[in-house]
Structure 1
Amino acid sequence: MKFTALISILFSPFKWLRKIRGFRLVYTPLIAIVLFTVVMGIILGTLHLQEKNQQEAALFRELSFAKQRIQLRFANNLEAFTSINRELAATEDQVKLNKIAFEQAQALALSNHEIIKIISLNQNLQNQWMAPQGSKNSNWIGNTQNSQASTSALNSTVELSKITGRAAFSKFMSLDIPSQDPLAKESSIVFWQVVPNIVGGEAIGYLAVLYSTQGVLDIIPSDLKAHYRFTLLADDERILSISSDRGTPKRSFSNQTSLDIGVLSPNLTLRIDTYPPPTNLTFRMLIGVLLGLSAFVIWSLWSVLKQMQVRQEAEASLRKETSFRNAMENSTPVGIRAHDMDKRITYVNRAFCEMTGWNPEKLIGLKPPFPFWPDARREELSEKMNRALNSEVVSKKGIEGAILRRNGTLIETRTFIAPLINEKGKQTGWVTSLIDISEPKKIREELAASQDRFTTVLEGLDAAVSVVDLETNELLFANRFYRENFGNDSKGHFKLAGDINTIKTLHDIAEDMHESAPSIPASFLYQESESEEIQLSEDGNHWYEVRRRVIPWVDGELAQLQIATDITIRKEAEELARQQEERMQFTSRLTTMGEMASSLAHELNQPLSAISNYCMGVAKRLDGNIDPNLNKEVLPALEKASEQAHRAGTIIQRIRGFVKRSEPQRKTSSIADIINDAVGLVEIEANRHRLSIESNIAANLREVSLDPVLILQVLVNLLKNGLDSMREAYPLSSRWSAPPVKISADLDTNIFPAMLRIRVTDSGGGIAESVIERMFEPFFSTKTDGMGMGLNICRSIIESHHGRLWASNIMDSEHTKLVGCTFTILLPIESSDSIGNA
């Protein structure tokens, strides 16, 4: 110890030298910068101050000179006015003296620009004469619009002069002088000077002189006004006149002085301002070079100083970081230890020593297996540690382990391992941190067991259970049934929530309660809503019975609990029962209609047969017994009436047989004849409504085996439907331009075997998609007086012939509007027997 102290004493001077050297290296550049900046500032400031003092001295001299010139002019004028008054006051040869006085005044007014006019007034203030005469000498008192103000000011000044017995001045007046007047500029602001003519102590007259403030500045020499701007100011800093409108710089020099032009004179102030001086190029170049050199030197010294500061800051930051790391390691409850590449402990902090109960001296240098590991788990912990140290991926979850304290207490730990990399990027060991998880692990195990029991119950339910935060709309909980049917977000919850206004109301209540008192009224919580049936068509038209309740969540925020039970099977059963009931009603109505059709067929056959027999009998009696011309008109009509009555009976028989489910009475027929007969039957009604029918039958169509009466009835029904659609689409006034209802027949060769195709096309407004889907159902009709059996019977007739019947809409060229509808019939060309044999 003594040797160490001696060495320390011997080397202490070198420590002081290093400190002095460090101080010199750090602060010498800073001191140089400060000294150089101060010297340059003193030099520039001295030059600037010297120039400023010279300009201010020159400005004061010129101002004093201008003041003396103005005061001298007013003193000379007063002396001249006094001399004129003496001439006017003389008693001998008055006319001649008055003329001399006038000539003196005339000469004085013409030679002095500041004088606008001179007026001689007697004791009663009557105008004796006025100078000068001519264009300049206007009658300012009587002939201008300023006479009242001028006269009032003159009277006040005369009164003041009369009282004091001295020359007096009036206040400043701003006259409104016409712009075309040559004296407008000089005479805009004026003032009076009244000089009394005192004889024997009494004023026998007055000499009134009108001065112009602009003229006062004309007293100053022109060369002086070329270098400076002079301004006359009143008491209230009002500008009376100015020598030039030329502007002055912002940093110009200025000075002012009071003008004493008389005992009773107004308070006039004369101000002088400097104009920008001519550029001193040499001086500015000198300043520029000086500033440039100064900036370069400062930048150089500043760079050196910054480098030193960066080094000092790095050292200070390193010391601060080291102190912070030591304080953090000693204050944290997390145990920290370091290992070298041989897994030997190289460092431990205070918390790790407290965990193990061992001091640092005994822990540093130990290699696994460590003595603070439990004996029964040493192999397990060694394997975990080796696996973690040899792994290239750092585990964020850590590894669970255990520590046996020196006093025998066992604690559960979680260890996190990270590689220790030096400044060269090379690994030199590992750093491990340990946290005590004994108590949290015990609590977590208990909570996990409780959570498992609760989750098992909810997961086993055949109902969707979901909890949503009312403020953030976040899904807080969802069971298996909810996840399988609605996913892992809250969209399914709000689909089942129903009314959007109710959801918004709950959000507002949650926000109000969050902003107000933290307590939630018990009457609001646990208030279960009535069950509600919700239909969701997006996932296969499912039905759910939904119950809701507002509950406080684990974090104290309001949440909505919702339980949705799938009742789709029950709804489908109810719907199936309803459909069965409707089918029973349809069957009953069809049975009743079949019975009515049979009764009508039986009742109508006899009168139709009688009509046919009567028509034929009348035709035979009239044959050969009437005029041949009349015979050609009457007999064909009677024969057609008999034929139509017979055909009507045949139709009734066919419908009766169809109702009884008998097969059509097929025979080989021409489809062209059937279409022509149908057009002939419907064309009368079409002409009555100003509409037309156009038929287009392909040539060489072979005859087909079918029931012509039933097929004719189908075509008549479809043509009538087309006419009805045209009547709705076109008003009566514009039907002359309406396109015709078209019926066509041809072979459809796009299918095999080829089939007979019949199409009925109209140009009406088309048919709504919802109507097309149900138009062939029994008892469905869009007409107020329709029974809804026409199209159903038509399709049944076509299907009994082993054919097809359907409808399709026609769109315009832009596919934006319905412009018509087409009914298409496909019939087999061969008979059903041949089809069956084939």
Structure 2
Amino acid sequence: MKKVIHQYLGQAIKKYRSKALKQRARSYTFLYTPILAIVLFTCAMGLILWTLNYQDKNQQQYTLYRESAFAKQRILLRFAANEDAILELSREISNSASKAQYPESFLKLSTKLIQDSPEILQLRWLDSRQNRIATLPNNPSYSKWSDRTSIKSVLDTELNVIFSEAAESNKATYGRMLGFHPAENETSNTDRQYVFWHVTPIIQNGAVTGGIATLYSGKRILQHMVPSELNGLYRFALVDSSGKELVSSNPKRSSSRSLEHNVTLDKTPIPLTLHVSTYPPPTNLTYRTLLWLVIGLSSFVLWSLWSVWKQTSKRYSIQKDLQTETNFRRAMEESITIGLRAHDMQGKITYVNPAFCEMTGWTRHELVGMSPPFPYWSSELVPDLTQKMAVALKGNSPKAGFEAILQKKNGVKINSRTFVSPLIDEKGEQSGWISSIVDITEPIKARQELALAQERFTTVLESLDAAVSVISLQSGELLFANKYYRETFGNTTKAHLDLAGHEINPEDVGALDIDSVDGFAGLPASALTPTQSDFREIQINQTKLWYEVRRRYISWVDGHLAQLMIATDITARKKVEDQTREQEEKLQFSSRLTTMGEMASSLAHELNQPLAAISNYCTGIANRLKSQQNIDIEKDILPAIEKATKQAHRAGTIIQRIRGFVKRSQPQSVLVNVATIIEDSVGLAEIEAQRYGVQISISFADNLPKVFLDPILIQQVLVNLLKNAIDAIKNIPVKVNSSKLIKLGVDIDNSVSPAMLRIRVMDQGPGIPEDALERLYEPFFSTKHDGMGMGLNICRSIIESHHGRLWAENNAPEKDQPGIGCTFTILLPLDK
């Protein structure tokens, strides 16, 4: 019934959730339009601002490219003008007749060149051997700097190289950029930090007679060659081929927002790059104001929309909770199997649920508006039900409700129980009464059937030929005892405790109930009751009777633990088992006697040999003594006596083994060495084997442990198996240079778990037919024409009594030959 209710409720809730999700999707549709408009407006404004910013940057980049090209052009033109002036100066020198004094034109032109070109630090007139003829300007600070040892060596070395290249090519040549660290007192003067040479050869009559060397300053190139109007707008720097910045117009580097451009001074004889970067542009207040205005307006609109969305969601959540509560109550009322019925204060029906309509067979429209007596009341119970209804409408209805018989519209009667309670409205005031009607027809039938089943079960327990009792583990009280227990043991717990082995102490049991404390720490009884019962056999000393006792812990009707015990009298069965065991012992003893009887002729022959030898030795000794000759006792008498003693010991050993084998004693298991049992068994069987020319080979594994078993019974099994092996091969013809062989092996079989002692007896006989293998251990079945068929049956019983196994199997083929003989395998446990 619960499953059906849950199914109805699940379907109703699922249907409601689907409807609620659709309604929720429709309720938020109106918010999508303003969100889309805000997104489009923000995107449009962002695109406009980005376009304006992009155009502004493009304009700045274009201006930077143009100004960079202009600065490059000015620098290259300045270098070209200087080269022309120096070339003209070299011509004036070459046209001069005497070099002892400066030509007037040289002084004039060189002074003008230095004045017009501030980027030139020094100008030297050199002869063909690079000796300095004149140096301009004659500035003491320059002379002091250039004549410094560390600087002079570098400048002269570089000048020698450049002069050689110019003299060789007859062309003006530029040197590489030289870097110097300023002295401590020259830290503020950076004009001489990076310099380079320019040498123009002086040619007279086709030969180089000297040269004009010009020392350029990298710093002054940027200060005086670049137009001054550009120096205020841009930062210029000279960069070498490796990307290292050598000199710059402004020591402060440009920021990440600056635009940059590189132009190569390709016409300059030395490889330099002019790096041009803009200074950070001033803040565009209009652009930023417009940007933040758009961002602010969009954020405000989004915040407004979010506020509306939040209020709508809160309102929808309240509405959804109300709908959920209403639908859930309606689903419960319509899906519940209990009939619900509402009355006003006068008892008129105002509401019924589907379960009540199904219970009575009347429709909702027919029931609503009815007043007592109702048509679904049974006619003979109308007065009684009218009185109960009047009492219930006064608020005096019993809490347990009252039972009634309802009659459906089709005449079928059902048993019901009605509960009446006040109906409270939303204002907290009583507006009527609500009654719930439960159909108890099936529970009443189940209760009646349960009572009948309990009566039948009690009858079965009372009729059992076994004592059934239940004892409480809380109080030690006998909770139940059947007729057999009461008639045999009385109504006390003494017999229960005796049969249970006194595992429950009455004093301890009583202690569990002190102060109503649970002795099992509140654990559920079901967790302490195993599903299986234990089994034992108990003998009561007073009556000498045997009982088979089965016990288990159960959860009693009050939830506490109790012990159930079933005791069956098995005294007669124990007597039969004792008689059967005595018969088995007699049968085993008879089997040993039979085995000895079958081996009697061999034993007699084996005993005759030592006895005859003893007789011969004694006769020889007597004859030597009667001869009255000189007798050496140590040589003539003692060896014969020792040999006679050895033969007597041999005969005694045979008789002792036979006596031990046929000795009748109670079965007794002891811890013995299995090798001793094997040797005694082979010693008995070897007498029969020697008679037929059969050899017995023994192999022992290393470190064999002692085994707990009955040595006489195991010896009986081994002798029987060896005798059967001898019978199987005694009549088989023997090939040349071969013998009849029986192998007896003892080892540990680790293929089983736990490991067991394994004894195998293997012969080379014809084997056992396949149809006889299955019947080999049946009583009175034998493959021998004169066999009794009890030997192997007794052997298997002995091995199984030791909790072991015995089986036979034919040997597998070897080296392309069919298998011959069979193997009997014994497995015995290693532990007790």
Structure 1 length as normaliser, TM-score? 0.38
Structure 2 length as normaliser, TM-score? 0.38
